[in-house]
Structure 1
Amino acid sequence: MCSISNRFRVSLSTGRIYILIFVFLSSCEARTIGDESQENAIIDDTAEYLRSYGAKMKSYMNFSVDPCEDFYEYACGNWKNVIPPRQSVNKRNNLLDIIYTIAEVTESLLSRSQLAEALNVSAELLVAQRFYNSCLKAQVLPLPAADPAYLSLIRSIGGFPAVDGDSWNSSNFNWFNMSAHLTNYGAQGLIKEDILPQYPFNPYFKLPDLGYDHFVHTDNIANSSTRAYILNEERMRGYLKAFNLTEDKISQVIVGVFDFWREALALKDKFNGDDSQCQDLTIQNNVTVFSQWNNYYEIAWNGMDFYNGSVPSEYCDFYYTELDKVCDRHMEAVANYLAMMLLYRMDAKLKEEKYHKEHCLLIVQFTLSHLFNKLYMPENFSEDIHSDIFSMVTELRKSLREVLRNAEWLDNETRQEALLKEASMTPVIGSYKNAAITDVLLNQIRNLTLFDDNYAKSLISLRKLGISLRRYNGLHFEDMSEDTKPLELLVGMQVNAFYYNLDNSIYVMAGILHPPVYHHLWPNSLKFGTLGYLIGHELTHGFDTSGSGFDGSGIIRNWWTEKSNAVFKERARCYVDHYSRYLIPEINRNINGNETKDENIADAGGLREALAAYRNHLKQIQISADETLAPQSDQMPGLDLSPEQLFFLGFGQLWCSSFKEEHYWEELNEKHTIDKYRVLGAVSNNDDFAEVYNCPVGSAMRPKAESCRVW
């Protein structure tokens, strides 16, 4: 799902249940009655689990839909109706819901004092316990926006004219500086900061998104009856009421923020949703360097100089120069917007009090991730699991090698380079380890200042610590070697996996090895359709339009011949055109096929490689153990599906999701295609799917005989 260099890529792995089966069938030693009874109990428990999980998968499906007409609806049509309710500001997604499984583990780890002592993190766990208990006792629904701690912080970084009235001095206000301060707490104002996952781990920037619960665009706030307008108005009104402002004053403030948004959006519209146009617009308009970036580095990065005094080219000088003019015309509204953005960052955003504990677990789980990872890994990621996943990676790599050997459009020179790159790939299962950096990050937790009688102050401290930990590599790059890995790779307890261009490696993180991605009892057909596909997805990222620019040593080098590269671009263009035709009716926008092409290429390649690996796996079983019934045993009880139909169902159900209108806007310009169209695009370009589900040419899932294919 993610990649590292310009970005991360996520993927997953699967285990080797066939080893367990083989051992069981080939064991011929005498057993006592007690042994036999125990084995029967294990078999019964396994059968019951499979029946239960098969019923769960079945409950997600909509059998009234022909899989050849809409495979996503067939696989996932009932998912949103049967999942347990959760507190989530963002979309719900079957794969990402694993975070709630891990949250349950986090809750148990919070009480594991003896384990913490054995791992020498007792002091850090005490800090986590203190914050968690404080969170449980605090009022988080609704946010006490008028808490003096929040107001004091807002006043220290720019002020809140809606509340401060005449005492707020516009001549002392700098919108850019206030936005820089917001980044120190993880709040997005008018600076959208991300961090490059490579040395020197400096920040980089995209055009900022505007709005609170719903990103705003010119057309979705054209009038006050749109969902974007209503949700944002409700959020601002809730905060402003906490300060006992009059209704007239509240309405005046909200109108001012919307007026600012509309003018700022008119500027953003010049980019047509494509940040890459920034440099063209900067040159066309003869814009010089925006003068305030040094302020940002002083405020957010302790004055770090990543560029030896030079100005990097990735800043969007045109945008910020023009935005500065807009902010000057709406200074008071901008200050109010940014003040409420800080409150939004501190807000639990709960809909019901019953989600209070879940919120407290998730905030410590994600902010203090290195601590809980230290506690999680010893008891939740065994050598047996590592061995299973490594075996799956090995099978998928064999499949990828066959793809590269058989790609008739590659000439021999390019093929040899591609095979050399695959041979050089390094798999890392569980997590990457750097004990020295991990210990330093853990020690930072000890220094967290908490206030048992003031949760707001404690939350502010925790938010600031979280950003400090996130920026650690960049803040200390001068003391690091150039081959230092990104901090993300140290946290095995996350629902993720990556391909890292700079060292040509894939990372399968331990936290992702839960249903709906992996369970050691599953049929192999299902495991290859879920984990196997995700591993293949990550492997393929080494050969997408970005990954193909790196060689097997992680060096940027053009190893393509002109002939092969021309065909490669033509085949990649097929995916751009295919996905760009998907219309999202909820927001009347099309998928951005160009922005998502690498993820779509990786999905297609991963799915093909996983099925080929599964088929080869069955051949190996039949040769080694003469298991003629292996395909039958690879079915799921309660589902009337062949093993290969189950394979594709497992893939599809990874992306079962529940979107509200605001989530479509949120994900519209992301690197990954929106879940539904991710499934539809992958299977409608997969000839094996059409064969397995008997889809005729002309059906929605097989629109034409020839499909898009790179790998």
Structure 2
Amino acid sequence: MRNLITSVCACFLLAPAALAQQGNPAQPAPLAAMPYSPSLDLASVDRGVDPCADFYKFSCGGWMKNNPIPADQARWDVYSKLANENQQFLWGILEADAKAEARTPTQQKVGDYFAACMDTATIDKLGAAPVRPTLDAIDPIRDRKALIAYLGPLNRHVPGTFFFDAGSTQDPGDSSSVIAEISAGGLSLPDRDYYLKTDPKSEEIRKAYLVYVQRILTLSGEPAAKARKDAATILGIETELARASLTRVERRDPYKQYHKMTVAQLEAQSPVVRWPDYLRAQGLENITTLNVAQPAFQKAVDHVLTEESIDNLKAYLRFHVVTTAAPSLSAPFEQAAFDFYSRQLRGVQQLPPRWKRCVRQVDHGLGEALGQEFVARTFSPQTKQKTLLMADQIEQAMQSEIDHLDWMSPATKREATRKLHTIRNKIGYPDKWRDYSKLEIKRGDYFGNVLRVADFETARNFAKVGKPVDRDEWQMSPPTVNAYYDSQMNDVNFPAGVLQPPLYDPKMDDAPNYGDTGSTIGHELTHGFDDEGRQFDAEGNLKDWWTQTDAKNFEDRINCLRDQFANYVVVDDIHINSKLTSGEDVADLGGTLIAYMAWQKATEAQRLAPVDGFTPDQRFFIGFAQWACENTREANSRLQAATDPHSPGFARINGIVTNMPEFATAFGCKAGQPMVKAKACKVW
């Protein structure tokens, strides 16, 4: 992915940490039309900075000065600013759909979901009542066997929350089919390392987490003394699970998360849970094979379920029920979740206004229903065709690069070419919209809607098991400001939300558009050949199609970038974890290069003249840089360094142009200047 905005997930609730994502500054009213911002913004340029000394500050210094972080934001960048505008526009759509007398079924669902979310008087009056039935079901459990059996119903409503996750996945070994999967889950902090690191900042966060757990349990009705004791127990259980979890770097290796086995084999390896019963509770009958993403983690789950007391296990379940529901409950619960996950972990100062949270919730649960409304108003057929043409030109540039590589053998080149020509470009929105007709949305029942959305999504995902893969499916809603490459689908996906100004500007010349959207297309395309994507073949199967020599040559070139990016400081003494970010760093470098080549080819018959004092080549690179303009809070930078596979914005620009002689030529940079490396890294 080009940006840090996460895709629409199968979870039924907006997870607490998501409160910090894409929050936007308050606006007085919904937008009736999308505003316009140019893809090359002269006001964002700081002409007092030498582009050969710090190209990021040259391109973004004005933007950073003029765009302070809003109080409800952890970071503020070009992507999140556009996401804010999209959300304001969606707000207007949802207000109209909530009030209209004559509505389509789609308008009824999105309008009533939004109206129910905005009805804070009813939500606040209910307090903890919406989760009381689940808590009342947990309280009388006295038998370990009964508690373990109850995990099936619990995880169906709240996937991944209780000890582990279950769902469906495209079979890495046979990309044409869908299988069931058991994977790691059950943690409430952002990453396993938050439980295990011993530095003062990590200790401080764990102390704050204990306070949060106590607060949530007390709000749900527990006495303070018991809540304090239970908080320590819950942290202990989660720490044991964290210790058994793969690191984020380890999870970049798809082989480490592919362990296909029969249900009988899973029962032999992890016998505590009755897996046929558990799968049946998810609606899966007669399942014989599945993938177990982290077998060692499942053994840790067995140990916890066997060794912890019933009371301790019940405390863990109660907390996870309430903390997951907190953003959808009354104000005290929502505020508690915000104070820890957003204020403590990300430095956000203020809870986003209610309309933003409700727009996000509708987009999260009914993304393709709301997306139809968005696309009809914002995304023209001409934009789709121009983007498809740009994607085709960038693929041709990638083909040229493959053809001329001096380090890749003919045999591997043939397979790389086959994969390249098999990639599908999915632009704007799905060819077939998701059918929500069986999902009931009630205007006065917000939490009920949240539960029904969860059940609908869980049933939809599990219904895929045993069936052919739907290669037309999307993992992001059309209004999303992001893009992604799917290594198993072998497709590039660009929602309509990311193809709006300033990221894609139909009023602007080709240079900044190729620099911005073109380099993003190239970025996603290159993911098919990064350290993770290259391990999947043209059909999306996990298969080694590289010779050993070619693989070594490739890793040697990636290591050049890893060494470079590991030297960049994120905050204080925290450096970029370049083993985590290398896939994105490689995609940034390769994507920008092939976008530049495609732009030159597309305009070779044109006489390009300077505009606003910048040559065409300079406009390409400024357009490339300005998508990454950002300001971020210190706390969020720490979180990003630990969890985000993307490097900070300054590194994603300066770290790339220093490896492109084309940039040095465009700006007249000389050897020895900061933006000129003595020995450039080159993968593609």
User: Normalising to structure 1: TM-score of the pair?
Assistant: 0.74
Q: Which residue in the other structure is 1:418 paired with? A: 416
Q: Is the 8 A contact 1:178 1:338 kept in 2?
A: no
1:523 aligned to 2:509? Answer: yes
State the identity as a percent.
18
Q: Which residue in the other structure is 1:239 paired with? A: 216
Where does 1:120-519 land on structure 2 (aligned, <5 Å)? 122-139=104-121, 146-156=127-137, 158-159=138-139, 169=142, 174=147, 177-178=150-151, 181-182=154-155, 184-185=157-158, 188-192=161-165, 196-197=169-170, 199-200=177-178, 202-206=180-184, 208-211=186-189, 216-219=194-197, 226-227=204-205, 229-230=207-208, 232-233=209-210, 235-242=212-219, 248-262=225-239, 264-265=241-242, 267-268=243-244, 274-275=250-251, 288-292=269-273, 294=275, 297-298=278-279, 301-304=282-285, 306=287, 308=288, 312=292, 314-315=294-295, 316-324=297-305, 327-328=308-309, 330-331=312-313, 333-346=315-328, 348=334, 355-434=353-432, 438=434, 441-445=435-439, 447-448=440-441, 450=442, 452=444, 455=445, 458-466=446-454, 468-469=456-457, 472-478=460-466, 480=467, 482-485=468-471, 487-488=473-474, 491-502=477-488, 504-519=490-505
Q: Is the 8 A contact 2:52 2:675 kept in 1?
A: yes
Q: Is the 8 A contact 2:149 2:273 kept in 1?
A: yes
2: CA distance, partners of 1:175 / 1:402: 56
Where does 1:99-118 land on structure 2 (aligned, <5 Å)? 99-110=83-94
Code of the aligned partner of 2:368: H
Code of the aligned partner of 2:606: I
Q: CA deviation at 1:583?
A: 4.3
Q: Is the 8 A contact 2:182 2:292 kept in 1?
A: no
Q: Which residue in the other structure is 1:537 paired with? A: 523
Code of the aligned partner of 2:180: N
Q: CA deviation at 1:442?
A: 1.8
Q: CA deviation at 1:513?
A: 0.7
2: CA distance, partners of 1:74 / 1:205: 45
Q: Among residues 681, 687, 696, which one is paired with 2:655 in the alignment?
A: 681
* Compared CA separation, residues 518 and 689, structure 1 to 2 (3 A): same
Code of the aligned partner of 1:520: P
Q: CA deviation at 1:573?
A: 3.0
Code of the aligned partner of 1:126: Q
* Compared CA separation, residues 124 and 430, structure 1 to 2 (3 A): closer
Code of the aligned partner of 2:92: S
* Compared CA separation, residues 602 and 494, structure 1 to 2 (3 A): same
1: CA distance, partners of 2:60 / 2:95: 37
1:609 aligned to 2:594? Answer: yes
Q: Which residue in the other structure is 1:665 paired with? A: 639
Shifted more, 498-507 versus 599-608: the winner is 498-507
Gaps of 5+ in 2: 9-34, 260-267, 339-348
* Compared CA separation, residues 223 and 290, structure 1 to 2 (3 A): farther
* Compared CA separation, residues 52 and 692, structure 1 to 2 (3 A): closer
CA deviations 1:121-144 (Å, max 9, x no partner) are 712322322222222221599x77
Code of the aligned partner of 1:392: M
Code of the aligned partner of 2:88: E
CA deviations 1:637-667 (Å, max 9, x no partner) are xxx6444333333323323342442564366
* Compared CA separation, residues 336 and 392, structure 1 to 2 (3 A): same
Q: Is the 8 A contact 2:575 2:641 kept in 1?
A: no
Q: Which residue in the other structure is 1:57 paired with? A: 44
* Counterpart secondary structure, 1:621: coil
2: CA distance, partners of 1:413 / 1:127: 53
Aligned length: 621
Q: CA deviation at 1:488?
A: 2.0
Rg larger in structure:
1
Q: Is the 8 A contact 1:170 1:332 kept in 2?
A: no
CA deviations 1:111-170 (Å, max 9, x no partner) are 56699999xx712322322222222221599x77942122223333x34xxxxxxx7758
Q: Among residues 627, 633, 645, which one is paired with 2:618 in the alignment?
A: 645
2: CA distance, partners of 1:298 / 1:174: 16
CA deviations 1:508-539 (Å, max 9, x no partner) are 22221123311111232211111000111122
Shifted more, 97-106 versus 293-302: the winner is 293-302
* Compared CA separation, residues 194 and 570, structure 1 to 2 (3 A): farther
Q: Which residue in the other structure is 1:31 paired with? A: none
Q: CA deviation at 1:312?
A: 4.1
* Compared CA separation, residues 576 and 299, structure 1 to 2 (3 A): farther
1: CA distance, partners of 2:455 / 2:49: 46
**Pairwise CA RMSD of aligned residues?**
4.3
Q: Is the 8 A contact 2:168 2:181 kept in 1?
A: yes
Q: CA deviation at 1:707?
A: 1.9
CA deviations 1:607-640 (Å, max 9, x no partner) are 1111222223332223xxxxxxx3313x4xxxx6
Code of the aligned partner of 1:444: K
Code of the aligned partner of 2:438: Q
1: CA distance, partners of 2:225 / 2:283: 42
Q: CA deviation at 1:68?
A: 4.2
User: Normalising to structure 2: TM-score of the pair?
Assistant: 0.77
Q: Which residue in the other structure is 2:577 paired with? A: 592
1:94 aligned to 2:82? Answer: no
Q: CA deviation at 1:413?
A: 4.0
Q: Is the 8 A contact 1:214 1:662 kept in 2?
A: no
Q: Is the 8 A contact 1:50 1:522 kept in 2?
A: no
Gaps of 5+ in 1: 9-47, 160-166, 282-286, 623-629
* Compared CA separation, residues 354 and 398, structure 1 to 2 (3 A): closer
Where does 1:8-87 land on structure 2 (aligned, <5 Å)? 54=41, 56-58=43-45, 66-76=50-60, 79=63, 82-83=66-67
Q: Is the 8 A contact 2:561 2:681 kept in 1?
A: yes
Q: CA deviation at 1:422?
A: 3.1
* Counterpart secondary structure, 2:474: helix
* Compared CA separation, residues 666 and 608, structure 1 to 2 (3 A): closer
Q: Is the 8 A contact 1:2 1:499 kept in 2?
A: no
Code of the aligned partner of 1:95: Y
2: CA distance, partners of 1:345 / 1:114: 22
* Compared CA separation, residues 381 and 203, structure 1 to 2 (3 A): farther
Q: Which residue in the other structure is 2:558 paired with? A: 572
Code of the aligned partner of 1:125: Q
Q: CA deviation at 1:474?
A: 3.2
Q: CA deviation at 1:268?
A: 4.3
Q: Is the 8 A contact 2:36 2:501 kept in 1?
A: no
1: CA distance, partners of 2:149 / 2:83: 35
Code of the aligned partner of 1:390: L
* Counterpart secondary structure, 2:656: helix
CA deviations 1:72-109 (Å, max 9, x no partner) are 44444565664476686765442244332222332233
* Compared CA separation, residues 147 and 668, structure 1 to 2 (3 A): same
* Compared CA separation, residues 92 and 152, structure 1 to 2 (3 A): farther
* Compared CA separation, residues 417 and 248, structure 1 to 2 (3 A): closer
Code of the aligned partner of 1:331: L
Q: CA deviation at 1:606?
A: 0.4
Q: CA deviation at 1:407?
A: 1.8
Code of the aligned partner of 1:688: E
